[in-house]
Structure 1
């Protein structure tokens, strides 16, 4: 939060300096608003440009990007505004150097004026503001899963066990209530079938026992 506020202050100060710079002297006492924006691509002339069509136009566009970047907390928009200001200022310096043959700085109002310094300083402040800003914070959204029911509910039996709900069923253990083991284990509580004596092995199961003297 503090970084965003500090970066916003630097960015707004840089945008203000950039917009104010065309109203100051740029070269030999000539203000920046007198240079037409198309002269930056075709060559510098002595013609006086309109305010809207002057070098002020890209600086106003940079100020608009700065305001949007501060409101949206977008470092990219603020940095783009700084690149626009520095780019047009450097392009103007190249064109003036080609027209004049050289660039000079004089203390008597000749050569480069304070308007150029304001434009360059404004562009640097915009880039510093973009670096200081922390941008938007992306909060991680955590989804908490509800625990699975482990007892029968009115809608039906509980769901099968999952890794989230460990199973309480033991495999391979006999059922203590005398139910057959579904996994094929012998029933410990069932009575084994009695073994018949050898002399009764050939007799039918439904024939009653008879005394030895009545047998034929």
Structure 2
């Protein structure tokens, strides 16, 4: 959390510096807002013609500042890094085109050569990239299911993305039904003579009853 706040603050300060740079001198006293942005891509190169505010170097720096603001709100390192690349990329592209137009670039303290606006743009872009490096970004959500003991007291129950229902909860390997073959549907009652079915032990003799059809040696009964 602290790293996101610190990185966002650095990125916003760098974006403010990038927005301020077009109002400062870039080369031989000419401000950055006087350079048309299409001159950086046109074949004619840099010309002495003026430019509107939103048609000058202010336009790409304004887009970079909006990206940095969105990155600070969304806590996105990618957007913050993209904003820094936009600022540094247009600053480098301007130096290349200005060097082609002037033949060479020089640095002077009397208003000749490169001015403080270029240094401000490079400092702002570098600060935005540093802010993207400091930020941690948004935390990733863990979509893995909870362990089996999630239903115990004090534990969080349910899935993180959807509620757990008997129809949607997957089988656990220990809870899957096992095929044990055909089962005898008749109930099994314990034998009172032998409560342990695994060890039958000696069987008690069954009583013998006389057959009424066979009178035996004593003859028919009266």
TM-score normalised by L of structure 2: 0.71
Name the CA distance, whole Å, in 2 between partners of 1:71 and 1:30.
35
**Does residue 115 of structure 2 align to residue 113 of structure 1?**
yes
How many residues are treated as equivalent by the alignment?
A: 180
1:15 aligned partner = 15
Change (3 A) 1:145 1:164: farther
Within a 5 Å distance, the mapping from 1:8-47 to structure 2 comes to 8-42=8-42, 43-47=45-49
Q: CA deviation at 1:82?
A: 0.3
2:131 aligned partner = 129
Q: CA deviation at 1:138?
A: 2.4
SS in 2 for 1:46: coil
Q: CA deviation at 1:137?
A: 1.5
1:163 aligned partner = 174
Pairwise CA RMSD of aligned residues? 3.3
SS in 2 for 1:52: helix
Q: Unaligned regions of 5+ residues in structure 1, if any? A: 148-160, 166-174, 180-184, 197-204
1:49 aligned partner = 51
TM-score normalised by L of structure 1: 0.73
Q: CA deviation at 1:177?
A: 2.8
Change (3 A) 1:190 1:23: farther
Q: CA deviation at 1:79?
A: 0.4
Q: Unaligned regions of 5+ residues in structure 2, if any? A: 153-171, 177-187
1:153 aligned partner = none
Name the CA distance, whole Å, in 1 between partners of 2:135 and 2:7.
5
SS in 2 for 1:47: coil
- C-alpha offsets along residues 126-156 of structure 1, whole Å, 9 cap, x if unaligned? 1000000001112436646547xxxxxxxxx
Change (3 A) 1:91 1:195: same
8 Å CA contact 1:178–1:189 kept in 2: the answer is no
Which entry has the higher C-alpha Rg, 1 or 2?
1
Q: CA deviation at 1:105?
A: 0.3
Q: CA deviation at 1:212?
A: 7.8
SS in 2 for 1:26: strand
